Each structure stands twice: as C-alpha cells, then as structure tokens.
Structure 1
Amino acid sequence: MERTCLAIILAAGDSTRMKSSISKVLHPIAGRPMIAHVMEAIAKTDISTAALVVGRDAQEVTAAAAIGGVKVEAYLQKERLGTGHAVLAARQAIAKGYDDILVAYGDVPLLTDAPLRAAREGLAAGNDIVVIGFHTQNPNAYGRLLVKDGELIAIREAKDATDTELAVTWCNSGLMAINGRKALDLLERIGNDNAKREYYLTDLVEIARSQGGRAVAVDAPEVEMTGCNNRAELAVIERLWQERRRHELMLSGVTMIAPETVFLAYDTVIGKDALIEPNVVFGPGAVIEGGAVIHAFSHVEGAHVSTGATVGPFARLRPGADLADGSKVGNFCEVKNGKIGKGAKVSHLTYIGDATVGAGSNIGAGTITCNYDGVNKYETHIGANSFIGSNSSLVAPVSIGDDAYVASGSVITEDVPAEALAFGRARQEVKPGRARVIRERALAIKAAKKGSH
C-alpha cells in the first residue's frame, strides 16, 4: 500500500498470570519471543515503523521486537489504565501523522499479515475504524461484534450483553485499525465512566460513529487471534504453531512419518523430498536440504545438512555443523562447528568438534577430536579419503593428511602426513598365567574383608 501506517503494539503487561520473572512477550514460541512473531507479521504488512508500548523488561522487549527491518520506537506506559490509555502512551508517534494506525498486541504470536492487510484495506475504503474479529463456537467472555447493514455499530462486552447479543458468535480480537488523521481526536474522547475506571479502546466504535464516521469489522481465523495469559496457554500456542508449520512443510514436499513428534524452530528450513523420522527436534538455525534424511531421536540446531546426507538416529548436530552431499553422521554422534566432507562417514559414538573431515573419509566408532584444553579451543583437520580407526583421540591442534591411516586406539598428538600410517598406543604385552594370579589375589582380599566383619 502507498498509504503510510504506524503499528502500535501493546506489550506493557505485567505478566502476572504467567508467574514469571520475565515479561510475558519474551516467552518463546518455536524458539523465538512472542513479540518477535507479532513483529514478523507487522513487517510483512509493509509497515516500516512501529510504536512499542512497554512496561517491565522494556529494553529486552524492544530488542526482541527489532526484526524485519521495522523501525521500533519504545514508549513506556507507567500506569495500567486500560487499552485506550495504553495506545495513547504512543501519542508522540501518532501525532507525526499517518494515514493508518494499526493496533496489535505482543501476545498473539500466531498472527499473520492477512488480517492486518484486510484492516488497512478497510481504512483505504473510507472507514474510520476497522475491527478485526473472529468467529468461534465458544464465545464465552469475548466482546461481541454487533453489525447492522454492514456497519459495526458497537462492541458489547459479554457481561453487558443481552441474551440476543450473547448469541452472536463474531467476537472482538482486540486488534483494530484507526484512521490516522482522526486517531488522536478519537482516542482523546475515550472516557473512563465504567466500573474499573479504565479507558477502553473498544469505545472507539461508538465514538467514531457519533462523529459521523463509519466502523466495520473484518474476519480473521480464530487460531490467529489466540492470546497468551499463562503457561498452559503458552503450551497450546506452541502446539498450534507447530501444527501449522509442519503442515506447510509437508505440503511443500517434506515427508514426516509422525509429524506430531517433530518439533521445529521459527526459522527451520527443510527442502522437498527430505525425510524426517519420528521424535526429531530442530533448534534455531537448522537448514536441511532436499533429499536429506534425519533419523529418529536426533537434535539439530544451527546446522546445515546437504542433499543426500543422513543424520542419526540419536545424533546431535550443534551450531556450525555442516554436512556435505551424501555424508553421514550416525547413531550417538555429536558434531559441533565441524565440516563433514562429501561422502564422509562418522557412523557411531563419535565427537567431532572444531574440525574438518575431508571427502570420502571414514571416522571409526568412539573417535574424539580433543578440541578443548579447559581454556581455549583448537582445530583438527582430517584430509580426504583418510581412515581413523575406532577409539582414537585426535588431540588438537593436529592435521591428518589425505589418504592417511590412524590405527585403532591411538592418541594422536602430532600431524600425520598424507598416505602415512600412525600408531599412538602402547605396545601390547601378554603375561601367561598372570590373570589367574590377579584373580586369586583379588578373591583373597575380598574374603579377608568379609572375615573382618
């Protein structure tokens, strides 16, 4: 839209019912603060400026909201005197003059840009107030949207509604758009002549109409209007978000055997023809290319898995893990800040940290890159087509050349040249009959202990 718009996001609640030490809007959904999800929807609505009305944790909330290229200006609400009062906390921003004012809340993380666009289109059509509503079979305590001849004539709170009005299932979400040229005048007309002595944004409908303006309502999916007040509702929103995102990915060509057991982060990217087995968790920053396979009970965060690569089962990819085409990280393996080359195999019970593994190399079971001395971390470089025998410890910094071979059970502390064979273990010695002597001595010690009791 060519019309200018200011988004006002109300995020000053004390989060009392969350029983939390941090602001409600900082609680994460899919690994991202709720307020950031709301701001993502705002950014997709082609809005470049937002006024964030904050209370507790003001700096943290403002930082979390600064995404999507939207310029965020924070305004502190010192008193809690209702939604109308909260919006006027951003009076300075409103006074700058915008065509549209869009009011949203920081605790509706399932919101998308579609309802916001519909509300702005309603303003462009000449309406002064556009309320975003939703239909529900359980309206309960929600305010009802009362419509006559296509116009919204009032928002009636449930406690004040007649039986006929209570039968209405179109409810107020709290989100609305306001004619920016009239916004300050309309907002300043809101009174507090009610039981709580608070200033309610919902009064704008009747105020605008009394001034000769027009109010309408637009519809939005009920799920997008789901707000959060406590930890139980937080879990419900997480479930709804996960269901929506899984569905989107499966429609895009991703196979999930048991989608209800797969948990995604807000930025998880999975390409078509990828296979995700049950009980897989993705943390932020995971990119899975098409054709990759993530086997069951794996955890992937901050990692890149290329086409044809396989992970798990029971594998952990930590930030910086980068698996090339056709590579493998198998069961009970962990990779952190490690590059696994094309076709390379890290099959069992292995830790690869701060390391590169060349194309075609094989890392035996129980291998460890010893990358940390308690203070600093060091790198291990393994060349192409090398073989690292089982139960080897590679003490960084160290390099293993192309086509090299490290014998099983070795502790490697020095570089191994290309095509070389390295042993780093003590020579085996066999003492005939010694096992019987050791066993008899141990049994004698045990018997003596029993006798002393």
Structure 2
Amino acid sequence: MLAVAILAAGKGTRMKSKLPKVLHPLGSKSLVERAIESCNTVKPDRTLVIIGYEGDKIENAINHLPEVEFVEQKEQLGTGHAIMQLVPYLEDFTGDLIVLNGDVPLLRPETIEELVKTHQKHNNSATLLTAHLPKPKGYGRVFCDANNLVTQIVEDRDCNDAQKQNHRINAGVYCFHWQSLKEALPKLTTNNDQQEYYLTEVVDFLNPVMALDVPDHSEISGINDRCQLAVAYDILQARVKEAWMKAGVTMIDPDSITIDETVQLGMDVTIEPQTHLRGNTVIGAGCKIGPGCLIDNSIIEDNSTVLYSVISDSKVSTNTKIGPYAHLRGGVELGENCRVGNFVEIKKSSIGNKTNIAHLSYIGDATLGNQVNIGAGTITANYDGVNKHPTIIGDRTKTGSNSVFVAPVTIGKDVTVGAGSVITHDVPNDSLAIARGKQRVIEGWKKS
C-alpha cells in the first residue's frame, strides 16, 4: 500500500498575500493541486493534506478532489511535527508514505514513480530526492557514502563552513516505510536554530536511507515568493511548448506565447506571437491562431483562422475565419465556413454554416441560420432592462447596415432588411422589411 502526505500548513509570509501560499495559481492549477497530481502515476491508496494556516480556505479550494483527506496541524512546529499529526490517521497503515511540500509544483510524475521504485527495490527505510545545485544556499545539505546511502542531513542555517561546500541538497521529497518512520518520530528533538522538529532528523534513526538524485534540478524548485512563482511558470511553459513543437505545432516567437497544459493542439497548428491559450481549449489541425489572441475553454475546429481576437466558452467549426478584434463569449456555437470580422461581438448565440458577420455588429442571445449575411452595424437588442430575449434569423436572410432587431423577434428565411431599419415585429419568409422614418429634404434651409 502507498499513501501520500502533502505539507501545506505554513503561512508563506514572503508571498505578501492574504491567500495561503499553496493556493497561489501556477497556470491553470494551484501549487498544492500540482503537488497532488505529481503523485497520480503511482496511484496512492490515500492522499492526506496537512493544513494549518487558513486551512479552511485550502480545504474549500481542493475538496473537489475526492481522494483527499485533511489533517490539521494546529501549531506549526516544523516538518517533523507535521508528520507527527498523521499518526492517528495512519495507525494501522503498513505500507510506504510519500512526503512532499505543497509548494513544490514542478515535480514530474515520472520522478515520483522512480522514487517509489528505488525505495521498494532496495527495501529502504527512507529514500529522499536530492539534487546538485550550483548555488545551494538556503537548502539543507545531504551527505552520502559511495552507495548513495545517506549519512547525515544538515539544514543550511546549521551548516558549518566546510559543510556548506557540499552542493547536494535535500529536495524535501521522501518515501518512507511508514512503520519505521512512526517509531522514529518520537525521537525527534528541537536542538536546532529554529527550535523546530525537523523531519530530516529521522535519518539518524532509520536504516538504510538512500538518496536519489534528480537530473533536472528545476523539478524540485520551491515557491517562497512571487519572483520564484514567475520563474516556475517559465519552466512549466517551456516544458509545455517544447512538447507541442515536437508534436508538430509551429510557434512563432514561443517566448511571447502561453499555453495551459490542459490545452490540446492538432498537427500543423501555427500559433503566432502574443497568443494565450487557456483552460480546456482544443485547437484543430491546420488552424492558424494569432497574433494577439486569447482563447479560453473553447474549441476551434480544423483549418480555422483567428486573428487579434478573444474567444471564451465557445465552439468554432471548421474553415471559419475570425477577426481581427472579434469577441466570442458565453456559449457561442459558430458553424462551418463562417466569417466573423472586425469589431464583432457574439454572445450566447448559435450561428449557421456559411454565415458572415463581417464588421461592427453585436449578436446576443440569437439563432442565425445558414448563409445569413449580417450588414455592418447590425445589433440584436436583447435586453429590456430586466430580462434577455432571443432573436431568430432564418437561412439566407440579409440585414442592411445599422439594422436593429428589438427582441424577442423572429425573422424568416430569405428576408432582406433595409439599411437603418429598427425591426420590432416578426417578419415572414421571402419578405423585404423596412422600418425607418421617411427621408425629408428641405432645400434652401440654413441655420438662423
């Protein structure tokens, strides 16, 4: 059996925030969510999150994860003290326990898997991740023999000058034989600079304890302030973009592009500079996105183009062109071979195939058929000050420039609407609708 314990009780004062440190977002997920997900590959039987400061906020934020149990650490007296809180919860547990910090979000699942395999292969009492840092200041140093068996761990603040020359650091990620660890916990002391119970001291009471070096030390980077959070985001983005480029996606100026790891991209997609893809977005094969786009929780199907536009919670079908400066939001469903042009906003509407909304229009709470042509400046006036109302426009209808449809209203198929019309009543199929004041010309008039 295997359990995971996530340390998430600290204040994180250097974040200068009312939000607990482990709840700060890194891309689309919080730090603590990423720590939990790094252990998914090893399929733990139990996942326990140790909370303290603002623990209710942490619990509320991640209680949607069904596998998580919460353990309260009322006083924050060190990492060893945090693990002591697990004893009542794991009283009869006989397997191994992974321990990691909730502010270490870049661990690869493969690394955790290798940690567990190494631990079980050698029948270790404890196995810990280590890394060789060029600048190890601030990290506890790990001292090993020729077989990578740990002889001593010394916290940075407790190191003497000679010990500080050792660049192998403790990543704060462990795999323990739980029953051995439980027997060692009462032996921990507070004989250190911080007068806390350090979990690292258990190596003095466990045997064997082995170190496992991580080749890429960026994986074990912890987050203590906003600067480190930004660096971690850069590392995460580099991983995501490298993987997609190797999978057949072209990125023009990758440094200016951001892509959540929840995004899916098809082959031969081109992403132009200053484009940002968020949430559960799916971009189909052959699409060209950007420059200057934000697409969030949306589907863009094959061979579509989006230029300088914002799309959220919407679906765009194949061979459609959007932008520049269009905004689709709130559940738009756009058909195939459509054109949505300059300064067009569409909200919560269904648009049929081969329909054009070329420029300067607002379409809200509307259903448009196939091959509709929306003239420049067309507005669906969907809000009466209290409620939203629908507009329905049938196939092949054409609206003149500066038309206004005062909802609720239904326009039939093959209708032509004269420019400048304000339509307040339903229009039947095969009609010409004109609703505007008669033009008057007064010759010889001038302002007195």
Displacement of 1:94 after TM fit?
Answer: 2.4
Deviation at 1:84, TM superposition (A): 0.4
Tell me by how many angstroms 1:390 deviates: 4.0
Cα pair 1:115 1:219 within 8 Å, conserved? no
Confirm whether residue 124 of structure 1 aligns to residue 117 of structure 2.
no
Does the 8 A contact of 1:343 with 1:360 survive in 2? yes
Structure-2 residue corresponding to 1:27: 24
Instruction: Please tell me whether residue 273 in structure 1 is matched to residue 268 in structure 2.
Output: yes
The verdict on how the C-alpha distance between 1:328 and 1:206 changes in structure 2, with shifts beyond 3 A counting, is: same
Give the alignment of 1:403-414 within 5 angstroms.
Answer: 403-414=414-425
Kept in 2: contact 1:292–1:310 (CA 8 A): yes
CA contact (8 A) 2:52 2:76 kept: no
User: What residue is the counterpart of 1:186 in the other structure?
Assistant: 184
Aligned to 1:446: none
Tell me what 1:332 maps to: 325
Please give the residue correspondences for 1:85-164 in structure 2 after superposition, counting only pairs within 5 Å: 85-125=81-121, 126-150=123-147, 151-164=149-162
Q: Deviations over 1:181-221 (max 9, x none)?
A: 3221122222222232210011111210xxxx200011222
Partner residue of 2:335 out of 322, 341, 347? 341
Aligned to 2:345: 351
Residues 170-209 of structure 1 correspond to what in structure 2 (within 5 A)? 170-208=168-206
Aligned mates of 1:37, 1:410 — CA distance in 2? 55
Aligned length: 427
- Within the candidate set 188, 205, 210, 1:216 is matched to 210
TM-aligned CA deviation for residue 402 of structure 1: 4.7
Shift of 1:368: 1.2
Residues 237-263 of structure 1: per-residue CA shift (max 9 Å, x gap): 222222221112211111110111112
Structure 2 distance, partners of 1:153, 1:195, is 21
Map 1:223-238 onto structure 2 (within 5 A): 223-238=218-233
Deviation of 1:66 (Å): 4.4
Decide whether the 8 Å contact of 1:347 with 1:365 is kept in 2. Answer: yes
Give the corresponding residue for 1:377. 388
Structure 2 residue aligned with 1:60, among 57, 61, 66?
A: 57
- Deviation readout 1:128-180 (Å, 9 max, x if unpaired): 11011112111122112211031111112234435553332221111111102
- Normalising to structure 1: TM-score of the pair? 0.88
Structure 1 portions without partners, runs of 5+: 442-453
C-alpha distance in structure 2 between counterparts of 1:374 and 1:303, whole Å:
29
Give the drift of 1:303: 1.4
Question: Which amino acid in structure 2 is aligned with residue 85 of structure 1?
Answer: H
Moved more, 392-401 or 153-162: 392-401
What residue in structure 2 maps to residue 448 of structure 1? none
Distance 2:280 2:392 in 1: 24
SS in 1 for 2:124: coil
- Counterpart amino acid of 1:361? T
Number of the residue aligned with 1:44:
41
Among 14, 18, 43, which residue is 1:17 paired with? 14
Q: Which has the higher helix share?
A: 1
The amino acid that maps onto 1:377 is K
Deviations 1:25-55 (A, max 9, x none): 1111113211111122122331242111112
> 1:144·1:171 contact (CA, 8 Å) conserved in 2?
yes
Q: Who is 2:374 aligned against? A: none
Kept after mapping to 2: 8 A contact 1:110/1:224: yes
**Number of the residue aligned with 2:368:** none
More displaced stretch, 423-432 vs 299-308:
423-432
Alignment CA distance shift 1:374-1:231 (3 Å): farther
Counterpart selection for 1:257 from 244, 252, 256 = 252
Are the equivalent residues in 2 in contact too, given 1:363–1:390 (CA < 8 A)? no
Residue 239 (structure 1) aligned with residue 234 (structure 2): yes
Q: 1:293 & 1:419 partners in 2: Cα distance?
A: 38
TM-score normalized with structure 2 length = 0.88
1:168: which partner in 2? 166
| In 1, Cα distance between equivalents of 2:219 and 2:432 | 62
Report SS of the residue matched to 2:75.
coil
Aligned match of 1:444: none
Cross-structure match for 2:293? 298
Instruction: Kindly indicate whether the alpha-carbon contact (under 8 Å) linking 2:158 and 2:192 is maintained by their aligned counterparts in 1.
Output: no
Q: Which residue of 1 aligns with 2:315?
A: 322
Q: Specify the code of the residue in structure 2 equivalent to 1:95.
A: E
Which sections of structure 2, spanning at least 5 residues, go unmatched?
A: 364-380
Range with greater deviation from structure 2 (224-233 or 417-426): 417-426
CA 1:419–1:262: 2 relative to 1, 3 Å: farther
Alignment partners' CA distance in 2, 1:261 and 1:367: 30
Query: Quick one: which amino acid aligns to residue 84 of structure 1?
Result: G
Partner of 1:181: helix, strand, or coil? helix
